[in-house]
Chains A and B, each alone.
Chain A
Amino acid sequence: MGGIIIFFDIMKYVRKMIEIEGVTFTYEGSSKPALSDVNLRIEEGDFLLVTGLSGSGKSTLLRLLNGLIPHFYRGKMEGRVLVDGIDTREASVASLSKKVGLVFQNPDNQIVTLRVDREIAFGLENLGFPREEIVRRIEEVLKKLRIEHLRYRPTNELSGGEKQLVAIASVLAMRPKIIALDEPTSELDPFSSARIAYILDILNREGITVVVAEHKLDLFSPFANKMIVMANGHIVEQGSPRELLYKKELMIHGVRPPSVVKLSYEYGVSENKPLTLGELLVALRGR
């Protein structure tokens, strides 16, 4: 009995942040829909990993979350997207961007100012925040991402990884509830990529909902609680990373299992479904 009561207690707090209901979207000038009948629910506190081949609809899906579709990209949209219960067609991109922050693949396309602190202030200034509040938030996000030392650095002198962290910082300064990232590590070296993954894990633990489109499953799957696989605009698989990455059908959609998964088959410990080297090692010892 007690268990059931606690369950309902928790259910009260699990809030649906985003509901995508039967969305089909075709870009203007294109004959094929980029998304076909997509249904997805993202709950508060989720860490959702979106994967699939290039052109499978990952970027289009992310653009739905903060209203860039249908407000910015033209095309034909069916179905609806609710963010915090509000239909994105009826909300402005400005108001949605306070709830959902979007980080793009190439930080060079996102960075618009010459100095790191100016960059983080940019969005806040445009929304008319008072100066003290802007300074407070700059300090807060720099600390959160462990990049206090970059505060006064020129943005053009930053490395690729540092630029991506600054792009994330400027999005976080708006204090969104959800941060969505489109292949954030595709241009980064392994060290910087791992740093992005760990930072996202920390943010998620602090309560921010994370949605990340990525090919580097090795790096992100241990942190995610949900995963979807996209192919030709459809969501073709949905579940926990542990469940999905050990599914053979994944290969049909062009998704290759991470090396830990391959190794655990090789060593005959796949029934334990390890996702990290640590888990694989534990499985090997328990054999």
Chain B
Amino acid sequence: MIEIEGVTFTYEGSSKPALSDVNLRIEEGDFLLVTGLSGSGKSTLLRLLNGLIPHFYRGKMEGRVLVDGIDTREASVASLSKKVGLVFQNPEHMFFSESVYEEVSFGPKSLGMSKEEMEGAVRWALEQVGLWDYRMRSPWSLSGGEKKRLSIACVLAMKTDFLAVDEPTIGQDSLSKESLLLTFKRLREEGKGVVVVTHDLEWLDDLHPDELILLSRGKVIERGPSDMIFSSVRDLAINGLIPPCKYILSTLVEVK
């Protein structure tokens, strides 16, 4: 379980907090959707989950984050990353291997998986994102959308209990979006805790997230079951987000 308790975080050199008094609880099997415009604090929230904040990003932090009961300030990022896998928005910043296969096997190797276990995990992860046929290619030869899927595979292969993904649909065509959706669905059924940060509400509507969190300027301004929040079309629109089409339509029809 991940518990975020009253966290306020201000980056060094910034006068305004990136997150203000955020409280959140994510259990295994939960599917959480976080949305909000650019700069609303979404990425900062993700960085809290595996201890990148406060270990890597400097700033002033109040409140605390517990992962399986352990305060992230007292745990190392390495030990936290065994529990929480994080996929960043710009995946190419982390690639360093010569082949897709090596890139994905790095995580399992560093976790000390056996060779057999590792091979199984890498293959499974690459198949999940449709990149198994690309395993011998260089990560740099991939398109933007494929790089993104590769970075998701890297984290999947580590078989963490929690998975947090920043903007998975960027640069993806419709087929890749569908297969990513299936992957998330499966992870949820397997009892993993999944947090997805996205603007693409239409895409996630099918999955009926357990909870949707709408951030604006570092504050949680709406939270609840996704259907409920999608129905408050006005609130989403005011925050620059486009609710799934069918909710807009039903609002318009009601108004009529």
Instruction: List the interface of chain A (C-beta within 8 A of B).
Output: 52-55, 105-106, 159-161, 183, 186-187, 189-192, 194, 215, 218, 254-256, 259-260, 262-263, 277, 280-281, 284-285
By a CB distance below 8 angstroms, the chain B residues around A105 are: 144, 171
Instruction: Give A142 to B5 CA distance when docked, in angstroms.
Output: 46
| A190 pairs with B199, CB closer than 8 A | yes
Considering the chains assembled together, what is the distance between the CA atoms of A53 and B248 in angstroms? 28
Q: Which residues of B contact A54 (CB under 8 A)?
A: 143, 145-146, 172-173, 176
Q: Are B240 and A215 in contact (CB under 8 A)?
A: no
Q: Closest CB of chain B to A216's CB: distance in Å?
A: 10
A159 touching B38 by the CB < 8 A rule? yes
B171 touches which of A52, A187, A255 (Cβ 8 Å): A187
What's the nearest-Cβ distance from chain B to residue A72, in Å?
18
- Measured between alpha carbons, how far is A55 from B175 in the docked complex, in Å? 12
7 contacts between A and B (CB under 8 A): A186-B170, A189-B199, A190-B240, A191-B37, A192-B38, A215-B172, A256-B178
**A215→B252 contact, CB < 8 A:** no
Complex contacts, B178 vs chain A, CB 8 Å: 256
Instruction: Judge if B136 is at the interface, Cβ distance under 8 Å.
Output: no
Which of B38, B143, B172, B249 is A189 in contact with, Cβ under 8 Å? B38
Taking a contact as CB atoms under 8 Å apart, the answer to whether A53 and B245 are in contact is no
A285 to chain B, nearest CB (A): 7
Q: Which residue of B lies closest to A161 (CB)?
A: B38
Residues of A within 8 A of B93 (CB): none
B172 to A: closest C-beta gap in Å: 8
Interface string of B149-173 (1 = CB under 8 A from A): 0000000000000000000001111
Interface: B242 (CB within 8 A): yes
Residues of B whose CB lies within 8 Å of any CB of A are 37-39, 143-146, 170-176, 178, 199, 202, 240-242, 244-246, 248-249, 252-253, 256
Contact of B241 among A106, A190, A280, A281 (CB under 8 A): A190
Among B145, B171, B175, B242, which residue has its beta carbon within 8 angstroms of that of A254? B175
Complex Cα–Cα for A223 and B242 (A):
18
With beta carbons under 8 angstroms apart, the residue of A183, A191, A254 that contacts B174 is A254
| Extra contacts besides A54-B176, A106-B144, A281-B256 (8): CB < 8 Å | A54-B145, A159-B38, A186-B170, A189-B38, A215-B173, A259-B202, A259-B246, A277-B245
Instruction: Name the CB-closest residue of A to B248.
Output: A277
Which among B143, B172, B173, B245 is the interface contact of A218 at CB below 8 angstroms? Answer: B245
In the complex, how many residue pairs between chain A and chain B have their CB atoms under 8 Å apart? Answer: 70
Asked if residues A285 and B246 are in contact (CB atoms below 8 Å), the reply is no
In the complex, are the beta carbons of B174 and A186 less than 8 A apart?
no
Please, which residues of chain A bring their CB within 8 A of the CB of B253? 281, 284
Contacts of A187 in B (CB 8 A): 144, 170-171
Collect the chain A residues with CB atoms within 8 Å of residue B252's CB.
Answer: 277, 281
Closest to A55 in B: B143
How far is the CB of B125 from the nearest CB of chain A, in Å? 20
In the complex the two chains form, what is the Cα distance from A84 to B133 in whole Å?
42
B241 and A260 form a contact (CB under 8 A):
no
Residues of B within 8 A of A52 (CB): 173
Knowing A189-B240, A259-B246, A263-B246, the reply to whether A215 touches B174 (Cβ < 8 A) is yes
How far, in Å, is A53 (CB) from chain B's closest CB?
5
Contacts of B145 in A (CB 8 A): 54, 186
Assembly CA distance A49 to B34 (angstroms): 31
Closest B residue to A262 by CB, please name it.
Answer: B245
Chain A nearest CB from B5 CB (Å) reads 29
CA distance A260 to B245 in the complex (A): 7
The reply to whether B37 and A263 form a contact with Cβ atoms under 8 Å apart is: no
Given the known inter-chain contacts A190-B242, A254-B174, A259-B244, please indicate yes or no for A277 contacting B144, CB distance below 8 A.
no
Quick one: closest A residue to B39, CB to CB? Answer: A159
Q: How far is the CA of A192 from the CA of B240 in the complex (A)?
A: 9
How far is it, in angstroms, between the C-alpha of A218 and the C-alpha of B178 when the chains are bound?
A: 17
Contacts of B176 on A, CB cut-off 8 Å? 54
Top 4 nearest A-B pairs by Cβ distance? A259-B245, A191-B240, A256-B174, A190-B242
Cα distance A218–B242 when bound, in Å? 11
- CA gap between A254 and B253 in the complex, in Å: 31
**Known interface pairs A53-B173, A259-B202; A189-B245 also in contact (CB < 8 Å):** no
A113 CA to B57 CA, complexed, in Å: 28
What's the nearest-Cβ distance from chain B to residue A73, in Å? 15
Q: Give CA–CA (A277, B245) in the complex, Å.
A: 8
Report the separation of the CA atoms of residues A61 and B94 in the bound assembly, to the nearest whole angstrom: 31
Which A residue sits closest to B176, measured CB to CB?
Answer: A54
Query: Which residues of A are found within 8 Å of B202, using beta-carbon distances?
Result: 218, 259
With most chain A CB atoms within 10 A of its CB, the pick from B146, B244, B248 is B248
B39 CB contacts on chain A under 8 angstroms: 159
